[in-house]
A and B are shown apart, each in its own frame.
Chain A
């Protein structure tokens, strides 16, 4: 290791373990800790209105979901275009509890952290089941298999009266140590909860990628036959990639249910699945920080285009419905531009900025 724990002036690794450290220097660790403190402190110092806190919460939930999608599509190379359905599985797990035991039952209102994790596990089970075709299918064929899961999910929710035929199933207000979380604090409270999940799950992925299980994901993505020859089990790896992805999606869905205090079908449609995929692509497939950049970029773009479409909608002829076309047009254009000019996503820009900062001021 470097003699100076604050500034590395070269590569002094002597073991693989050292190379796999999360923070290479004390400075890295301090900057990260400082950033984390800011993330936790800013809502208390600069309180936002409920509208903006809801947007922030929504972005964080998308980050959790996209981290899952990145595991299966980015790291394991298995295309999934039914990710919103997995998110829906998590949300409808909470909704099922509400329908069965009542939305104000103590399990819903007090033991919500356990329920969120349980929803993740249910998502993992469904992920593993949907992942089974991955043993036989690849590429586009696998994508179609995940699409069919999306269709089955949508049909089931829309036609089963247990799920209120897709209409909102309410979720009760939760309790914290300070008592019931009321309207005023609702979105700030969930900001802290979701942020905690993002941090924990982010570290989870970071650490997973250092293990043989994480490396096997990448090995199978790059060449599953070679991975097989190296003693890995590509089939099992693919199924567990889907299960892991399902877990993240399930957690995101449960968080969505609690933040919106209700579960409705329209948040988990194919359109949302495409949205998650777009976030992963724009952020950078196969990178952890891409899972953060993508949702932030796409959600902000969404907001801006929404405003533009709204303004255009006031002036453009209603019959032609041109304003409606603006959103999908912009959305599609951004994805195409990223695929053409920056297929490695925003994460690559981040890498470039980091490299530049390493050189300045004379890091090495």
Chain B
């Protein structure tokens, strides 16, 4: 199941002030598969993810070198429109942050700022993406209630619907189940499996079992280095690197 690379990270280094966070990462991330980024906390997993949609540059004192190519275009080329780049990627964070508006408006927010105006088209879009994220049945009668009234698991699925509504190609997920109960986590994981036919999914996780359940491709990172990467079967069954072996066996965590 060899596919084309969708995201090509080349020689990427990031540091916060004088503290290095990523050291010369180069990797190709396959299209329409689930790629899991694993590794102990503080190894740079989230930094890598945030570099991909250029959220990183909002933090103070960040310096970055190297390139990230998405659809063969470097997102760090000067003159690239950052909102266009971000529109290509949906982001799920650790704790869901719905926008301070109604359930409906949360999903409508993206399409609206990108120019959708017609009312019935909007209603259809909102219904469509809430259905995809598996939330429609639960919220169809209370679309105009504040999103903050949903349970945290529902909020995370709402954030998924909100992200999908801008029609991204890639879903970036930063430990998306870490704040959720087991049932809700299961739902999110099921969504991912379902969505990978259409989207390239990159998920940062520190839950090894989750990576085993979901991943087609795995990146193992340690202290800002990309130690090993490859198809999931290879990383989990036959890791080449000593450090990866220890991590997979649970000796380091």
A and B bound? no
